[in-house]
Structure 1
């Protein structure tokens, strides 16, 4: 791992989110939709290289019975370095701490 990688446990900005989705080959969202969705995340993990968002993932759901892992994306130039696995591990750790044994990916 690179010493410049930083893990943050909060959603990115709507612009960062949309830019990473598009670069990673996932459909873009309007900035308004992204702002609402990100604000309503139950949990998010973002990986930055200095100030650049390079990977992320989120848990969404109702907070009680339904949980879903979404938005797993790593910037293409950083793929193959285990960052996607790191994001998934953080999301699953969050669900484990909440004693959630069933969720959707």
Structure 2
């Protein structure tokens, strides 16, 4: 990671969270959802450059049996500098310290071959990831192809 950047524990504010997800090509989240969800983060880290949030990653779950790595995002103007790797390294360190024996840690990977270095494996064919999304009108959608 470049010296111009620093990792800060915590999550960005809801507005920055929503903007960064979209800038990084992740699916949009509502501001209402971000306001509700971010305080429930078990562990979060953000990458900053001169006080500007340019990356984020967090762990959510019940704090005992299940954990999920989510919202790993780096602004495209700051990608290729090791920020994503540094943030995931922080998340994995947290999980190594805090997750009790037999806890389940999951994630949905958008980048091929990125998470394997931390011991993550594909679940298929033993299990298969599924989802159900609430659309902008508050109804469950058919899922579509958006990730």
TM-score tier by shorter-chain length is over 0.9
Q: Which residue pairs with 1:44 in the alignment?
A: 44
Larger Rg: 2
Question: Which consecutive unaligned segments of at least 5 residues does structure 1 have?
Answer: none
More helix by share: 1
Q: Does 1:17 align with 2:17?
A: yes
Q: Deviations over 1:74-105 (max 9, x none)?
A: 11011111111001100000000114564102
Q: Which residue pairs with 1:4 in the alignment?
A: 4
Would you say the 8 A contact 2:5–2:47 is kept in 1?
A: yes
Question: Which consecutive unaligned segments of at least 5 residues does structure 2 have?
Answer: 108-147
Count how many residue pairs are aligned between Structure 1 and Structure 2. Answer: 105
Q: Under a length normalisation based on structure 2, what TM-score does the superposition of the two structures give?
A: 0.67
Would you say the 8 A contact 2:57–2:70 is kept in 1?
A: yes
Q: Deviations over 1:43-83 (max 9, x none)?
A: 00001111211111000001110000000011101111111
Q: Which residue pairs with 1:80 in the alignment?
A: 80
Q: Does 1:28 align with 2:21?
A: no
Larger relative contact order (CA 8 Å, sep ≥ 6): 1
1:27 Cα deviation from its structure 2 partner: 1.5
RMSD: 1.3
Q: Does 1:104 align with 2:106?
A: yes
Q: Under a length normalisation based on structure 1, what TM-score does the superposition of the two structures give?
A: 0.92
